[in-house]
Amino acid sequence: MSISKDGTTEIKLLKEKAAVEIDKLRTRSIEMADHIFDNPELGNKEFKTKGYLVTELKKNGFKVQEGSGGFDTAFKAEFCFKKPGPAVAFIAEYDALPNIGHACHHHIIASASVNTAIALSKLKKELIGKIVCIGTPAEELMNAKGTMIKNRVFEEIDAVLMIHGGPRNNTKLIVLALDGLEFSYKGKASHAASAPYEGINALDAVILLFNGVNALRQQLKDDVRIHGNVIKGGDSVNIIPETASARFYIRSQHRKYLDKVVEKVKNCARGAALQTGNGLTISVFHDSTSNLLKNSFLIKEFEENFKSTGEKLDEDPFLLGSSDIGDLSYFIPTIHPMVKTAEEGYALHTVEFLNYGKTETAHYGMIVGMKSMAMTAVRVLMDGQFLKNVREDFLENTKNIGQ
């Protein structure tokens, strides 16, 4: 093997070998993705899927710990190369959506991450360090990754890679920070016709809360999203509602700004309670998640590898929504690009997007994404200066957090 002074020739050849290993696993990767698609399981109930993925990893020489981070349906699989070095983790998500199944294409994510890890393990004589595949459950339900971080599952990992299906090939995904709050009002019931003046109307407070939030929107930055619904509005039309409650998702592109917005929304709720004489309880119904921090070096490397497959990337930012991958990006250098698994115009979490789950479009996007991840991992493992740049970029992005 001809090796240049900076090792670029060696790395280029290793990337090519990694891509070949992905091609060898094409049929099996598609088979696994289709199996998961056909057997959807909800968050924290993905027992069959976890077992299916763990069996595949064990069969290929990975050492697997199940129940990682306190979640029964999580796992952590490791494959160590002979020479010490960095550790790269691939994230598998595999929970489905209620009533609709894999309309977020988590079956693609799971198969892609597991099989990319397996493909790289075949280069055991040439790579250094460690490959890790971490199964993270319930992405649609809660901040499982945040809990797994606290429980030290992600320690001693140098970079995290994963792909997400969608209608475009895109590395400019916007993942919003999120808080999920419930506002519950307690008033006093009374007869709505004969003695309404003896009651305290909890539903009035909920209505005022919505009006307050709508008035607030004009004074908020464009990236903020606030959306809610009434989950309890009373029992009988003839009774002044004694209890009423609403739930809101509050989102922003920046965690610091979101914290300020959340306090404003809470003040709207407090004002509604004060105006109507109701008691108020504010509680969390969905774990907070952070926005996705971008690592410019990892993104550029992924883009170059993706383009080397002959594919093009969309240049416009794409608003994905919210995900607990944001919390992980605050802890470890992370990338979360989108690969095209459906045609343009089909939105995630819809039946139309679901119907693309087992198509050639989805399978092709998965394989291209796997090759791009594998080649990016090779760079992290084998290029010390590149990894130093990744770390420095991460430290720069996170140095003022909490200040």
Spell out the domains of the chain, with CATH numbers in brackets: 8-174+291-398 (3.40.630.10), 177-289 (3.30.70.360)
Helix (H) or strand (E) holding 245: strand 243-252
Question: What region, left, alpha or beta, does residue 342 occupy, with left being phi > 0 and alpha being psi -120 to 50 degrees?
Answer: beta
- The tokens of 223 are what? 């990236």
Residues 6+ apart with CB under 8 A from 219: none
Q: Angle at Cα 140 formed by Cα 396 and Cα 290, nearest 5°?
A: 20
CB 158 within 8 A of CB 387: yes
Written as one letter, the residue type at 300 is: K
- Give the residue carrying structure tokens 């976890």: 50
| Cα gap 360→30, rounded to integer Å | 10
Flag whether the pTM goes above 0.85: yes
| Nearby residues of 203 by Cβ (< 8 Å), 6 or more positions away | 185, 233, 234, 241, 244
Residue located via tokens 């969309």: 314
Cα separations in angstroms, 227 against 36, 130, 234, 288, 348? 31, 42, 21, 15, 18
Q: What is the C-alpha to C-alpha distance for residues 258 and 223, in angstroms, rounded to an integer?
A: 10
Q: For residue 373, which of 89, 131, 161 has the smallest C-alpha distance?
A: 161
Place of tokens 């490959």: 131
Q: What is the rounded CA–CA span in Å between residue 104 and residue 85?
A: 34
CB-CB contact of 166 with 341 (8 Å): yes
Tokens of 199: 């009651």
| Residue 286 amino acid letter | H
Q: What is the pLDDT of residue 65?
A: 98
Q: Which residue has the tokens 């419930």?
A: 182
Which residue type does 223 have? D
Of 187, 248, 180, 244, nearest to 213 (Cα)?
248
Q: What is the dihedral of CA 268, 272, 273, 276, to 10 degrees?
A: 170
- Nearest-angstrom CA–CA distance, 321 and 177: 9
Q: Which residues in the chain land under pLDDT 50?
A: 1-5, 403
Quote the Cα angle for 168-90-140, to 5°.
65
pLDDT at residue 6 in the model? 53
88, with CB counted inside 10 A (0-12, 13-18, 19+), is buried
Q: What is the spatial distance between Cα 8 and Cα 3, in angstroms, rounded to a whole number?
A: 7
Question: Taking Cα atoms as reference points, which of 265, 220, 266, 227 lies closest to residue 247?
Answer: 227
